[in-house]
Amino acid sequence: MSDAPLLEVDDLRVEFTTDDGIVTAVDGISFTVEDHEVLGVVGESGSGKTVTALAILGLLPKKTTVTGSAKWRGRELIGLGDKELQPLRGEEIAIVFQDALASFNPVFTIGSQIGEAIEVHHEIASKDRDERVVELLDLVGIPNPRQRADQYPHEFSGGMRQRAMIAMALANDPALLIADEPTTALDVTLQAQVLEVLERIQARTRSSIMLITHDLGVVAGIADRIAVMYAGRHIETGPVDQIFYEPRHPYTLGLLASLPRLDRKTHGQKLYRITGQPPSLIERPPGCTFHPRCEFARLPEPCATVVPALEEVDPSHRAACHFSEGLVGLTPERLREGQRA
């Protein structure tokens, strides 16, 4: 059991029954998070990133159909009830929610709310608890943490609240921190600060992090591995360098080509745009769900008829594209030039 990965997800599938039909938000994904690893999960809005995290923690609405497996240190989580999952949440796996700014209760001090998060899982003397709160606020880079602990959420700036949320998530030294889009609501400077905090935490606590974001640029400096998600599927996974320098799925290549490059003279030039919209999750396109937007698709066969499997293209690098071989050597620059021409 000891050599089981920290988190091992296998063929996870999540369906919501709605008035319009069945929404397949997560469509059979498999991945692992190892000890001390930072996994970046990247994808457009609606691709299933948050639902994946919620499914693992058993936080989806009761009527949701969740199948497949998610094992924590070898123990199956899917199917467990709140009573069994509660000790795990926050204690072993902590999540910083996307809407972190709204997550603090306005009528209690920041310090008391972080303190409470500690007390949920541990009996602790109030003096030790208060010290721990100060230590946590310090860890996430809040200046004058002792004074700040006694302030209310409205006295914190947006960026500070976000960091205080991370401090709260870290209260019990979780082995895995899931940070869901901790940066979207923030401006670029604050974004960089929050990422710095995550990096510092990782260096200090060696906890694993699953960092969920829209922005491939955000995860570049911090992730060890990246999983690119599209319409509920992982379409490419691999070490960060391979994803950036040898992408093997047209969607990943498109995301890379859409990144603004500060180090290049893209000034005055239009950025690349992946044309079209993400598909409906109720009536998915047949075959590869990306084919309607793909510049490289061969239609109808095989791209509109056969679902490409997520297959190894290099050791530890996988892509779900019928023509991933054909992308070898193709750079984001060339894709951009093609669109300009």
Ligand X SMILES: Nc1ncnc2c1ncn2[C@@H]1O[C@H](COP(=O)(O)OP(=O)(O)OP(=O)(O)O)[C@@H](O)[C@H]1O
| 3-state secondary structure at position 174 | coil
Is residue 281 part of the contact set for ligand X (CB under 6 A)?
yes
Residue 287 near which of ligand X, Mg ion, none (CB within 5-8 Å, type-dependent) = none
Residue 13 near which of Mg ion, ligand X, none (CB within 5-8 Å, type-dependent) = none
| Structure tokens that stand for 159 in this block | 């960026």
Which listed residue (12, 38, 46, 289) binds ligand X by CB under 6 A? 46
Is residue 152 part of the contact set for ligand X (CB under 6 A)?
no
**CB of 76 closer than 8 Å to CB of 70:** yes
Candidates 41-49, 130-138, 146-154, 194-202: pick the segment binding ligand X (CB under 6 A): 41-49
Is residue 20 part of the contact set for ligand X (CB under 6 A)?
no
- Whole-angstrom distance, CA of residue 1 vs CA of residue 5: 9
Q: How far is the CB of 265 from ligand X (least distance, A)?
A: 31
- Measured in degrees and rounded to the nearest 5, phi and psi for residue 138 equal -65, -45
Which listed residue (7, 25, 39, 178) binds ligand X by CB under 6 A? 25
Site for ligand X (CB under 6 A): how many residues?
A: 17
- Whole-angstrom distance, CA of residue 306 vs CA of residue 255: 23
Alpha helices in the chain (DSSP H): 49-56, 82-85, 110-121, 126-139, 145-148, 158-169, 188-205, 216-220, 240-245, 250-258, 332-340
Which listed residue (49, 233, 248, 249) binds ligand X by CB under 6 A? 49
Which listed residue (24, 47, 50, 324) binds Mg ion by CB under 5 A? 50
- Whole-angstrom distance, CA of residue 341 vs CA of residue 339: 5
Residue 48 near which of Mg ion, ligand X, none (CB within 5-8 Å, type-dependent) = ligand X
Contacts of Mg ion in 253-282 (CB under 5 A): none
Query: Is residue 232 classed exposed, middle or buried when 0-12, 13-18 and 19+ CB atoms within 10 A define those classes?
Result: buried
Site string for ligand X, 204-233 (x = CB under 6 A): ----------x-------------------
260-286 b/e with 16+ CB inside 10 Å = b?
eeeeeeeeeeeebebeeebbebeeeee
Which listed residue (6, 9, 23, 190) binds ligand X by CB under 6 A? 23
Write out the residues near ligand X by the rule CB under 6 A.
16, 18, 23, 25, 43, 45-51, 61, 98, 181, 214, 281
Write out the residues near Mg ion by the rule CB under 5 A.
49-50
